[in-house]
Amino acid sequence: MQGRPVDKRLRLIFAGLGLVLMVAIAVWMLQGLPEGRARSFVLGLRAERLAGLLLVGVTTGVATVMFQTLAGNRVLTPQIMGFDSLYILLQTILVAGLGITGFASIPTWSKFLLDTAVMIALGCILFGSLLGRGSRDIARTILTGVILGVMFRSLSAFIGRVLDPNEFAVVQQSSFASFGHLDAALLPVAAILTAAAVGLALSMAGQLDVLGLGRDRAVALGLRHRRVVFVTLGLVAVLVAVPTALIGPVTFFGLIVAGLTHGILRNPRHAMLLPAAGMIAAIMLIAGQLVFERLLGQASFLSVVIEFAGGLFFLYLLLKGRIR
């Protein structure tokens, strides 16, 4: 029986990823710790930020890999298809509906849960029909996604104009990515949602493998295709809502992560791909934040750099004709 060398290679890769992640976490927590009473305070702060970065990394990595499997190509991300703009639109509508005092008075986590629930429903309706048929017309799919994204964003902006400037500022705050400032109040509920969604995703890893063969072959092999498509989209909606709520929209980060994951693993099994994607994303975020925040003292640059690099990678994929 062959297949053994592959398994050995994968084990090495995971050992490597785990080691790098551990080192990154250790450096993140322990580098330049102050002495005395400030120590435990700084540690607590760092742990909080670390949890945020881990959550953002894991959700983005897992969501992108799942989404690309569903869409049947390696160029799309949920964000390119306007998933995160949808989340921001929902936030805006919520502010508009409740007014700034109402928005501030309901607990953050219940807003977040409400948004996520609506997003699951809308995401399934909007993208289920678009992606579920296994359309090979990728140019049209991308175009539709970009148009939807622009539409959601302009709708948010329009509602923002109608709101008074104070209220709009509340929304604006939540529509730009910043790894520096994350909403710590959301961490517990975000962690629970992430754990549930990732757990469910892992439990259907085998079905995702079959889904990746395209609609026809998946149906021929007995996969309940429509159901799996909708469950996948629902999970992706949750896994996009989490990072968008924590730090704001990041369009191209997932693209780099998914590209790296497939490039490194060279294995189609989601039982391997999903954990690897989560680990790779977490490593990139923690290491990147270490470099920009502690080394260069420019915490806010990370999202810019990631978006820039990711954008270039997106262009590279498009120009190389890597769209399949």
Partner 1 sequence: MIRIEDVSHSIGPARILHDIRTGFPKGRLTALIGPNGAGKSTLVRLVGRLENLQSGRISVDGHDLALTQTLELARVMAILGQDTAIASRLRVRELVAFGRWPHHNGRPRADDHARVETALENFALTQLADRFLDEISGGQAQRAHIAMCFAQDTPWLLLDEPLNNLDMSHSRALMQRVSDLVRRQGRSVVMVVHEINYAAAWADHIIAMKDGRIMAEGDPDTVLNQRTLSELYDADVQVSRHQDRPLVLHHA
User: Smallest gap, in angstroms, from Cβ of residue 96 to partner 1?
Assistant: 40
Nearer to partner 1, 122 or 138 (CB): 138
Q: DSSP states of 87-139 as a string?
A: HHHHHHHHHHHHHHHHHHHS-HHHHHHHHHHHHHHHHHHHHHHHHHT----HH
What is the rounded CA–CA span in Å between residue 281 and residue 239? 13
* Residue 140 found at the interface with partner 1 (CB under 8 A): no
Read off φ and ψ for residue 41, nearest 5 degrees.
-65, -45
Q: How far is the CB of 140 from partner 1 (least distance, A)?
A: 16
Of 207-246, which residues contact partner 1 (CB under 8 A)? Answer: 207, 209-210, 212-217, 219-225
Q: Nearer to partner 1 by C-beta: 183 or 209?
A: 209
Minimum Å gap between C-beta 198 and partner 1 is 18
- What CA–CA distance (Å, rounded) separates 308 from 318? 15
**Under the criterion CB under 8 A, does residue 1 sit at the interface with partner 1?**
yes
Q: Does 324 bind partner 1 (CB under 8 A)?
A: yes
Residue type, 168: F
DSSP code of residue 293: I
Selected range binding partner 1 among 40-48, 92-100, 142-150, 262-270, rule: CB under 8 A: 262-270
DSSP 44: H
What is the torsion angle, in degrees rounded to the nearest 10, for the CA atoms of residue 283, residue 286, residue 292 and residue 293?
-170
Is 4 an interacting residue with respect to partner 1 (CB under 8 A)? no
Radius of gyration of the chain from its Cα atoms, rounded to whole angstroms: 20
Q: What angle do the packed helices 165-173 and 138-162 form, to 10 degrees? A: 140
To partner 1, the closest distance from the beta carbon of 8 in angstroms equals 14
Q: How many residues bind partner 1 (CB under 8 A)?
A: 30
**Of residues 245 and 265, the one with the C-beta less far from partner 1:** 265
Q: Is 199 in the site for partner 1 (CB under 8 A)?
A: no
In angstroms, rounded to a whole number, what is the distance separating the alpha carbons of residues 278 and 139? 28
| End-to-end Cα separation, the chain, in angstroms | 32
Tokens of 272: 């391997």
State which residue, 3 or 199, has the beta carbon closest to partner 1. Answer: 3
- Minimum Å gap between C-beta 35 and partner 1 is 52
The residue from 170, 191, 205, 231 that contacts partner 1 (CB under 8 A) is 205
Residue in 256, 233, 242 with CA at minimum distance from that of residue 66: 233
The verdict on 307 binding partner 1 (CB under 8 A) reads: no
Q: How far is the CB of 101 from partner 1 (least distance, A)?
A: 49
Smallest distance, Å, CB 72 to partner 1? 4
Give the footprint of partner 1 on this chain (CB under 8 A).
1-3, 69, 72-74, 136, 205-207, 209-210, 212-217, 219-225, 262, 266, 268, 324
